[in-house]
């Protein structure tokens, strides 16, 4: 059956870049992938918030979240979308599930236990200032639909912490997730610095050989 891979970290941590790389990596091995992102859901909620109670617009066509409960709602909706897809997903497929949060214990609580039990987890541990710099660069020179703006306000009020170092303990203690299905990667440098770690983890997920590290 298809495999779920949760990819998470602060905005600017490199989630979408890595998701695109995984898609290419899998294609070379006759696997497929599909990408789900909670930002798509949040963006739809923003446009539906005609009274501006939950969101407000920002520069560069972005938005700020004013009521943080929407972060919880978005993850619940994300699970529903993924589960709907899994009903017809191919066996040799990885379902990439991307989101950013400041409290992963709370984030995981928004998913059902059954949704998490057979999933794999990839957390990108990146310094906040590095994330801000990357967002500034991608906003100035966007090249993909994922190069969206994230304001200083939301970093200061919500993304002002990242408990990523506790991810393995949270998943093992609360959900009995095998540590072999959990990967934490520091991504403060270039993509080339981490590509082999990613390839090895994905190869283990798909149970195929990591051919020449490609």
Q: What pLDDT score does 108 carry? A: 97
DSSP state of 20: H
> Whole-prediction pTM value?
0.94
pLDDT digits (tens, 9 = 90+) for 124-164: 999 999 999 999 999 999 999 899 999 999 999 999 877 67
What's the rounded mean pLDDT across residues 166-189?
A: 94
> In CATH, which superfamily holds the domain spanning 3-206?
P-loop containing nucleotide triphosphate hydrolases (3.40.50.300)
Task: Catalogue the long-range contacts made by 21-30 (C-beta closer than 8 Å, 24 or more residues apart).
Answer: 21/191, 21/195, 21/198, 22/94, 22/96, 22/198, 22/202, 23/96, 25/198, 25/199, 25/202, 25/214, 26/94, 26/202, 26/206, 28/211, 28/214, 29/206, 29/208, 29/211, 30/92
What's the rounded mean pLDDT across residues 75-82?
A: 98
Q: Taking the domains of the chain in order of start, what are their residue ranges? A: 3-206
Q: Which of 91-95, 151-155, 182-186, 210-214 has the lowest mean pLDDT?
A: 210-214
- Name the pLDDT band for 166 (thresholds 50, 70, 90): confident
- Name the pLDDT band for 210 (thresholds 50, 70, 90): low
């Amino acid at each position: 059956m298809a495999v779920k891979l949760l990819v998470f970290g602060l905005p600017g941590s490199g989630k979408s870049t890595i998701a695109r790389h995984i898609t290419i990596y899998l294609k070379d091995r006759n696997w497929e992938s599909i990408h789900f992102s909670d930002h798509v859901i949040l963006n739809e909620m923003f446009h539906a918030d005609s009274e501006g109670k939950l969101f407000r617009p920002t520069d560069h066509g972005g938005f700020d979240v004013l009521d943080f409960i929407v972060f919880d709602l978005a993850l619940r909706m994300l699970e529903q979308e993924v589960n709907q897809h899994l009903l017809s997903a191919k066996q040799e497929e990885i379902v990439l599930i991307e989101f950013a949060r400041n409290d992963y214990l709370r984030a995981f609580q928004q998913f059902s236990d059954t949704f998490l039990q057979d999933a794999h987890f990839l957390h990108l541990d990146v310094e906040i200032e590095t994330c801000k710099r990357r967002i500034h660069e991608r906003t100035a020179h966007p090249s993909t639909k994922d190069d969206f703006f994230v304001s200083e306000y939301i970093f200061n009020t919500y993304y002002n912490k990242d408990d990523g170092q506790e991810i393995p303990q949270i998943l093992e203690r609360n959900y009995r997730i095998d540590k072999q299905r959990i990967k934490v990667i520091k991504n403060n440098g270039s993509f080339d610095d981490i590509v082999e770690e990613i390839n090895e983890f994905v190869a283990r997920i798909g149970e195929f050989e990591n051919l020449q590290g490609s």
